[in-house]
Amino acid sequence: MHAAQVTAILPAKDAAPYIGTTLETLLRQFDDPSALKLVAIDDGSSDGTGDIMRAYAERFAHAEVLVNPHARGLATARNQGLAHVDGDAFCFIDGDDWMQPHRLQVLTAQLAQLDCDFVRTDHVRVTGQDRRLVRAPYPWRGVVASPRDAILPADDKTMVDYPFAWAGMLHRRVIDQGLAAFPDGLFTAEDRPWIWRLHLQARRFAVVDAPALLYRRGVATSLTQVGDRRQLDFAAAMRDVLDLVQQDADAERFLPKAVQTILALSSHHMVRSRRMTPTLRRDMRASIRALLTRLPAAETGRALQRLDGPRRRVLARSLRRAGRTT
């Protein structure tokens, strides 16, 4: 039996209604099935997710199923998977998403041919019966570039605003270089520091065309739908982003983008907090104020001018209380 070339890391919690589709599509990725290793992580599921993982694992040439008795969160579960990567390439997939056939075979070839640290792709967003192509916000396809050159401009959507860990493939050297791990213990926004680190510190990347990954929206158990305390991790994730940028040799170049992103996401979470319980809403707003306090005042003022009026108004009180101008 040949050694695996690619490892697919699949963490899931309570994904029994969907994960069979995910796993079935992973079986259709390579002409030579032995090219793929499955690392599935059952992150404290209370349904049949783990049983489905174990049943499917028997159909893969290479597979491991890890079990967390209690949920540790997507970031930690993905990190667990990283420790089991075999081969020169790896990717992530979530338990409610699926792939068109041969996606991973195409990405493996592209990663090798372009000699990139990572490649990124568009994806298809699925909401009920509706499907919509979401393009990676980078104008060139199949062109190798420095990941740092895809961070700016500050006032437009760029590749650091497209943080989805599953939207591509990575070479194992990013593990060796310490660039692949997620902030341990974060339940939401864990991919924000992850994508910034990749773009600041990796060497070569490209956006490429490939068969689609289909990203299922509107799942009741998805953390994009859940309004509980785990949403507070957004502020911790963005503090990590700010630290990464401020420690970079070109901090002044990239700070405008980081500050702009933090303000835009803070406004979004302020609006979302209106649907939370009073205690959680108070804690969310306090965490946002603490985050805003850390922003450079001059850069905050400039970034505010680039925000539209409604988002400025949402942030106004928190900015004043954080000692930042509106």
Indicate the pLDDT class of residue 224, thresholds 50, 70 and 90: very low
Residues 6+ apart with CB under 8 A from 112: 88, 89
Tell me: pLDDT of 20 over 50: yes
Average pLDDT (217-245) is 77
The predicted-structure confidence for 86-123, as pLDDT tens digits, reads as follows 999 999 999 999 999 999 999 999 999 999 999 999 99
* DSSP-H helix ranges across the chain: 16-26, 49-57, 74-82, 103-114, 173-176, 191-201, 233-246, 251-273, 278-293, 297-306, 309-321
| pLDDT at 219 (0 to 100) | 60
Q: In the predicted model, what is the mean pLDDT of residues 21-48?
A: 97
Q: What is the DSSP string of 68-102?
A: ESS---HHHHHHHHHTT--SSEEEE--TT-EE-TT
Rounded distance, CA 244 to CA 290, Å? Answer: 18
The model carries a pTM of 0.93
- 300-313 per-position pLDDT tens digit: 988 888 888 888 88
CATH code, 6-216: 3.90.550.10
Pairing of strands 89-92, 168-171: antiparallel
Edge to edge, what strands does the sheet with 213-216 contain? 98-99, 213-216, 123-127, 130-134
Look at residue 220 and tell me whether its pLDDT is greater than 60: no
Coil vs helix vs strand at 157: coil
73: left (phi over 0), alpha (psi -120 to 50) or beta: left
Model confidence pLDDT, tens digit, residues 143-188: 999 999 999 999 999 999 999 999 999 999 999 999 999 999 888 8
Instruction: Specify the pLDDT at position 223.
Output: 47
**In the chain, what are the domain boundaries?**
6-216, 229-321
Question: What does the pLDDT average to over 66-74?
Answer: 95
